Structure 1
Amino acid sequence: MNKKPVRVNSAFRRFIMTILFLTVFVMLTTACGGKAEEKQSAVENEGKLKVTTTIGMIADIVREVGGDEVAVTGLMGSGIDPHLYKASHGDIEKLDKADLIFYNGLHLEGKMAEMFEKLEKTKPTVAVSSNLKEEQLRANPQGGSGSHDPHIWFNVKLWMSATEVVRDTLSEKDPAHSEGYTERAAVYLAKLEELDQYVRDQVAKLPEASRILVTAHDAFGYFGDEYGVEVTGLQGMNTMSEYGSKDVSELRDFLVEKQIKAVFIESSVPRKSIESVIEGAKKLGHEVVIGGELYSDAMGDEGTVEGTYIGMVKHNVDTIVNALK
């Protein structure tokens, strides 16, 4: 049996054509807008030293010390786990275009290590941890390629050393603006001295028996060592390491034994890991609450107080102290 051809209503046809036109228009406008923003950014940054960094904490140092003389591009934003991070094609392009690259080192950016080795042959590629001595670093009990704990920013004193590395590298690369880099670094280092004292004063408000910090992964060891807090995490220093039922049960028993009332989640680590420990403690009759969210391997959103290193550290210590009091 012959089927009659389907006739499309003319009004419907016009509607479809209008939708297609608007879709193409929006795509073209967005593309043109993006190119215009890129051109404007290029004009604004003309003549500036182009610096690309990995984690946000390093980008923050470079902005503070570099001032208007540098154009900073950070690869890893809020909520990004540097242990698991893989560079995208766009990241590789940013690294290629940079005059100078800063990274943390100590195998924090483990998946990018080979890339940094290659880049070192063509341009200054500097680990901000490079001035730290063996005795200043914490050993990684998991061993392997990352033989040291990379989370040095949780000891403000060590992060001052990172600031000095940035200052000296910028001055060497751009000697014409060395005086400005030195002056701004001095101002920032003074702020870090104040921050270090702030952390000590806040922790001192806690009874010694309450100075126990339990988090999703073992990122706060430098904080604990420097400021007198016992620290333990469900996962190891590197979030690439897996945790199992034994780790959960051991941490659960630790919470019950020490009668710990609060544990903490991290902005860059899934909360389900620590929630399993809380549930286990509850089954044993011990109530544990989430004391708040801490910033561990990434800062807060750009434009917020927690989106700066100083703001992040203050948020963390205030959250810890308020929950454990």
Structure 2
Amino acid sequence: MKWLWTSIRAILIVSLIVISGCSSSTTNSKSSGTLKVTATTGMIADLVQHVGGKHVQVTALMGPGVDPHLYKASQGDIEKLDQAHVAFYNGLHLEGKMTDIFTKMARSKPVIPVADGIDKKKIIETKDGQYDPHIWFDVKLWIQAAGQVKKGLIEVDPQHKNDYEAQATAYIKQLEELDQYARTQLSSIPKEQRVLVTAHDAFSYFGRAYDLEVVGLQGINTSSEYGLKDVQRMVNLLTERKIKAVFVESSVPKRSIEAVIAGAKSKNHQVSIGGELFSDAMGEKGTPEGTYIGMVHHNVDTIVKALK
């Protein structure tokens, strides 16, 4: 029995060391002023990093090319959320399959939807009663989201309030310049040619903000199916209005748009792919498109080049 007691005592000691180490790690992280933040999309992670600066360590769950509408959290994602001091997500059912996780996690830590910072009158409601979650495509709305992030960080870490306010102000200035750039460039496209055709309806906020007509083959959620009637509707639009370019998205398979192009060709109307747009995910880390500002710049420049 002596050997059994010795083994049990050893296990208990090791367990206490592990627990102590984990607790110490979390405490040290907070006391050093570094908040562990987990964000769902790259756009939100980028926003938190700019507002939080050196005081945050940000982890994004969804990388380049990932569709948040269809995303399912892995065990590793759950662990990242568990280890975070605060989590930020989009809301408006963008991360539909993760909603229950956020609800449960909010009982034990701050879990903040950035869409809650948006003026409710500015949220687009679809014909079937859904809310369009693609708020980042109106830069002015993303400025409001920056305010929500600032508010959340200050609530969790009030000792760095001045830094969060200053960093948010500096980044918002960059966003205001980005908004003006988008308006100037897109207004150079002749009015009758400002028709943006994409795989799914992610650009409604973009169209409303910058005066483009937006047509998506699928609805706001890529989990919705498209059929032959949807393809035919798009083909008729392209041929009747002589639209020359359509766009693919980095996070949506190309086959839907390719079907539209083939349908137009069968009616003797040539349509080309105007370029790849970043819709529900940013580009690769370390590239200009791997930041929110760089992503919007790329989209604007690609659209103008194809449609002007």
TM-score (norm 2): 0.89
Matched, 1:137 2:123: yes
The one-character-per-residue Cα deviations of 1:44-79 (angstroms, maximum 9, x if unpaired) are x94310100000000001111111111101000000
- Structure 1 distance, partners of 2:284, 2:268, is 37
Offset at 1:142? 3.6
- Structure 1 distance, partners of 2:127, 2:228, is 19
Pick from 287, 290, 301 the counterpart of residue 270 of structure 2: 287
1:169-208 aligned within 5 A: 169-208=152-191
Matched, 1:63 2:49: yes
1:295-314 aligned within 5 A: 295-314=278-297
1:91-170 aligned within 5 A: 91-143=77-129, 147-170=130-153
1:262 and 1:288 in contact (8 A); partners too: yes
The one-character-per-residue Cα deviations of 1:213-257 (angstroms, maximum 9, x if unpaired) are 000000000000111000001000000000000000000000001
1:108 and 1:150 in contact (8 A); partners too: yes
SS at match of 2:115: coil
- Structure 2 distance, partners of 1:239, 1:160, is 26
Q: What is aligned with 1:34?
A: none
1:49 and 1:69 in contact (8 A); partners too: yes
Query: Following TM superposition, where does structure 1 have runs of at least 4 consecutive aligned residues deviating by more than 6 angstroms?
Result: none
The one-character-per-residue Cα deviations of 1:267-315 (angstroms, maximum 9, x if unpaired) are 0000011000000000000000000000000000011100000000000
Q: What is aligned with 2:194?
A: 211
Pick from 21, 38, 43 the counterpart of residue 52 of structure 1: 38
- Structure 1 distance, partners of 2:83, 2:77, is 10
Q: What is aligned with 1:16?
A: none
Query: What RMSD over aligned residues (CA atoms) do the two structures have, in Å?
Result: 1.4
- Structure 1 distance, partners of 2:128, 2:232, is 19
SS at match of 1:106: coil
The runs of 5 or more residues in structure 1 that have no matched partner are 1-41
Pick from 76, 83, 88 the counterpart of residue 69 of structure 2: 83
SS at match of 1:130: helix
- Structure 1 distance, partners of 2:182, 2:156, is 34
Larger Rg: 1
1:295 and 1:316 in contact (8 A); partners too: yes
Quick one: percent identity of the two aligned structures?
A: 59
Amino acid at match of 1:123: K
SS at match of 1:274: helix
Offset at 1:135? 1.5
- Structure 2 distance, partners of 1:159, 1:100, is 20
The one-character-per-residue Cα deviations of 1:172-214 (angstroms, maximum 9, x if unpaired) are 1101111111111000000000000000000111000010000
Q: What is aligned with 2:300?
A: 317
Amino acid at match of 2:144: S
1:142 and 1:236 in contact (8 A); partners too: no
Matched, 1:271 2:257: no
